[in-house]
Amino acid sequence: MTGTMAKKQHRTPVPGPPFIRLLAALADRNAPRTGPDLSDRLSQWIDWTRAVALSRALDGRLPAVADAAPGSVEALDEECARVRATLVESITAPPAAGKPAATDATAYRQRCLTAQRAMLTATGRLRGLLRDRLSAGPGELPRLAEVDAAMEQALSPREQQLLASVPALLDAHFERLRDDAGTAEVDPDSGWLHLFRNDMQAVLLAELDVRFHPIEGLLAALRPH
């Protein structure tokens, strides 16, 4: 971890993927070491209508195979890699030449929201392209496309609700670092602001990893075995 998050050595490490650990560090508290198992958690997230849709995707008849595949697997793989690289570059890019670094929480909140919207739009488009390719594939690949569509519809509202909390956590982290520095002024070269930028970048990159998990799974299903 980076920045202030890396300095909290006295705290019990939070279990779970990097994104969860980073958010727990932002909130300055430990996450519960245990929680509901996966089936209990999903039952809270998926209402009965979406559960029926998911069941139909899992057990229903396979959809008709499309006449032609919308693109080669290699081209889709390259497109996913290109989009991810572009998103990483936008998250890690320094301020444009001649443009001063942001020195208030509002500017960083807007930057976070912009990055999240870009990730949502790009990954949604890629996921749709991959499902189209799966739907034109042999065997059980069309069913996987149906299941993924049902899962996205069922889980996306809850996922977006949780991810929407990230800007507020970053706001609180910004204010806490500034208060700890004991100053009301924000110098663009101050050490604590540099730490905050690193922490924000780490969180957004971890969120990007989370958003790409379904895409990586669909790509893996398409690649020759």
Please state whether the predicted TM-score (pTM) of the whole model is above 0.85: no
Q: What is the pLDDT of residues 104-138, one digit of tens each?
A: 889 999 999 999 999 999 999 999 999 999 988 88
Across all residues in the chain, what is the average pLDDT? 79
Segment 4-22 shows an average pLDDT of 59
Evaluate whether 174 touches 108 at the Cβ level (below 8 Å): yes
Q: What is the pLDDT of residues 167-205, one digit of tens each?
A: 999 999 999 998 888 876 677 778 898 999 999 999 999
